[in-house]
Chains A and B, each alone.
Chain A
Amino acid sequence: MTGVLPVTLLEATKVVQALLYGGKEYVCVMKLHGDAQEAQVRKTLEEFEDLIYQRPPLRASVKRQLRTRRIYYSDFLEMNGRNVLFSVGCEGGTYIRKLCFDVGEVLGCGAHMQELRRTRAGPFVEKDSVTLQEVAYSFTEYQETQDLKILKRFVQPMERALMLVPKIYVRDSAIAAVCHGASLTAPGVLSLEGGIKEGSLIAVFSLKFEAVALARAVASSEQIVDMTHGVVAKVERVLMPRGTYPKCWKSGEKPDEQES
């Protein structure tokens, strides 16, 4: 299996949980065990769009219970003999191998997954990916020149992993408390994306677009916008180091200017 694999460095590893969220896209070669008409194959692939049932395979590290997974789309690309090329956009945790097996069952002839390439993992797409060779080469060049532009060619800020996670933007004065794990309260909220529901995973962001923490919303976007006080979200993972922003200074004042 090849394709998009986001590799997090050092502190950025804390965002990995958000990458399991946000969906994936694959290009797959499915090998049929018998002959089938293209029209039949196209129609069957379409039947597997929207919600499907899957039980994780024996090798999986998750509980082997029957669960639903959403296939956003499954697009027939081409067929050559018994080889079927198709692209599929799906929820994280969808087993494409099982999907191919089940498509084969419905077709009647049976099928298996011959080859798989991931073309998208959340916000990360194939066309922006770099190979190990490029990483090695560019890193050597960066070490020699110390030119940050070269580093930026293959390293992204961890915030990119949170592109699909709904965001809540907060005041500077609310950041320190959140970095200490305190729940985010309404007065600290400046703006937020729509579509947040109670229990949604959200990302707390500063006005400089820095990731502060991953949290769970306790209310919806519409409710939060009108709240004057109370908890808005409970912190699950702090991403910003403590001390990046000071505790509750009045805006404009520096620590040594504050009145005693």
Chain B
Amino acid sequence: MPRSVAPWETPRELLVRAEDRTDPNFGHRPEERPAEEYLRFGLINLDKPAGPTSHEVAAWVKRILKVEQVGHGGTLEA
């Protein structure tokens, strides 16, 4: 069976319909968000250790960072 192109290997092209500028008085480029906002809209690429469940690990992150809510992308369980 042939090897297929994975989603992270697909080339992307941009089609332009129109052009415009963005007002610097509103919003932020993600990398330029102020501290509190950076954390509120942030995520962590975590290397999960063996043993605890994905849910438990996410709960630890919640405790360490003292945030009210966390989620995780795709359970990694035995």
Chain A residues packing against B (C-beta within 8 Å): 1-13, 15-16, 19-25, 46-51, 70-73, 89, 92, 118, 120-126, 128-132, 135-136, 139, 146, 148, 151-152, 154-161, 164, 166, 171-172, 186, 189-195, 206-210, 221-222, 224-225, 240, 244-246, 251-252, 254
On whether the beta carbons of A146 and B35 are closer than 8 Å, the reply is yes
Q: How far is the CB of A130 from chain B (nearest CB, A)?
A: 6
Point out the residue from A4, A9, A240 that lies within 8 Å of B42, measured CB to CB.
A9
Q: Please report which residues of chain B, range 1-54, place their CB below 8 angstroms from some CB of chain A when the two chains form the complex.
A: 1-10, 12-23, 25-31, 33, 35, 38-50, 54
Chain B residues packing against A (C-beta within 8 Å): 1-10, 12-23, 25-31, 33, 35, 38-50, 54, 57-58, 60-61, 64-65, 67-74, 76-78
CA distance A191 to B13 in the complex (A): 10
Among B23, B40, B61, chain A packs the most CB atoms within 10 A around the CB of B23
On whether the beta carbons of B74 and A5 are closer than 8 Å, the reply is yes
List 8 other contacts, CB 8 Å, given A132-B49, A157-B41, A210-B27: A4-B45, A6-B43, A19-B73, A118-B48, A151-B35, A172-B22, A193-B13, A252-B23
On whether the beta carbons of A225 and B71 are closer than 8 Å, the reply is no
Q: How many inter-chain contacts with C-beta < 8 Å in the A-B complex?
A: 260
Decide if the interface of chain A is mainly helix, strand, loop or mixed. mixed
Q: Tell me which residues across on chain B come within 8 A of A121, comparing CB atoms.
A: 73-74
On whether the beta carbons of A207 and B20 are closer than 8 Å, the reply is yes
CA distance A20 to B23 in the complex (A): 33
8 A-B pairs closest in CB distance: A19-B73, A157-B30, A13-B71, A207-B22, A129-B47, A155-B42, A6-B73, A72-B6
On whether the beta carbons of B76 and A1 are closer than 8 Å, the reply is yes
* Residue ID in chain B nearest A16 by CB atoms: B71
Among B9, B14, B25, B42, chain A packs the most CB atoms within 10 A around the CB of B42
Contact A157 B13, CB 8 Å, known A10-B39, A73-B4:
no
Show 12 residue pairs from A and B whose CB-CB distance is below 8 angstroms, ordered by the A residue. A6-B45, A7-B71, A10-B41, A13-B69, A46-B1, A50-B3, A122-B7, A125-B45, A146-B35, A161-B43, A193-B14, A245-B26
On whether the beta carbons of B64 and A139 are closer than 8 Å, the reply is yes
On whether the beta carbons of B42 and A6 are closer than 8 Å, the reply is no
On whether the beta carbons of B64 and A135 are closer than 8 Å, the reply is yes
On whether the beta carbons of A131 and B20 are closer than 8 Å, the reply is no
Contact A2 B48, CB 8 Å, known A49-B1, A72-B4, A159-B30:
yes
